[in-house]
Structure 1
Amino acid sequence: MCKITSELNDLRRPSLLVDAANCGTEAYQRRRDLRRMLRVAIPPTARAALEKLLPIEADLEKRRRMGATTYSFARHVDILVALLAEARAFRAS
């Protein structure tokens, strides 16, 4: 099992976050959304996108657990939407 797969399998988040992210995957558009979320050029593969998204999500989760004032629920859902969509594409390839 590769590192990305194990990291994805180990993710445990509150059901409210996961449910919100699952709802957002239908409207996910890779080109538009990754450019906005990553603020860089679009990664060429789902694997490359996941490598960029996982640390961002981990930081958001850390902020959420700490109750940081810099935590954004909306940004966390956005990143989780992308993670779910890219993970599906990664597993399909």
Structure 2
Amino acid sequence: MTKTLNDLNRPGLLVQAAAHGTGQYERRRDLRRMLRVAIPGTARAALEKLLPIEAELEKRRRERATTYSFARHVDILAALLAEARSFRGA
């Protein structure tokens, strides 16, 4: 899991926006909205759900797909950063 997180390489502006978004991140509210399923019990479980969503958004971004949403990508990355911090025990 940590290797997967460390392997993410995204544009600086996208990461900066996501890092800023972690300050407003509220796990219960945001995961329910983002995942549209029951809130995962652990940070690891949340990361396992968020990573494929982020990968699909990154694919759309690179393809310049009309279905790509910068705002959604920032939201998902902010959740990933916050959950990763919790997972690592920081």
Q: Is TM > 0.5 for Structure 1 vs Structure 2?
A: yes
Identity %: 79
Counterpart of 1:68 in structure 2 is 65
* Equivalent position to 1:90, from 80, 83, 87: 87
Counterpart of 2:42 in structure 1 is 45
Counterpart of 1:5 in structure 2 is 2
Tell me the matched-pair count: 90
Per-residue deviation, residues 31-75 of structure 1 (Å, max 9, x unmatched): 000000000010000000000000000000000000000000000
Mapping 1:49-60, distance limit 5 Å: 49-60=46-57
Counterpart of 2:27 in structure 1 is 30
Unaligned runs of 5+ in 1: none
Unaligned runs of 5+ in 2: none
Distance 2:23 2:67 in 1: 28
Distance 1:5 1:22 in 2: 18
| 1:77 and 2:77 correspond | no
Match of 1:92, SS? coil
**4+ residue stretches of structure 1 with deviation over 6 A?**
none
Alignment root-mean-square deviation, CA: 0.8
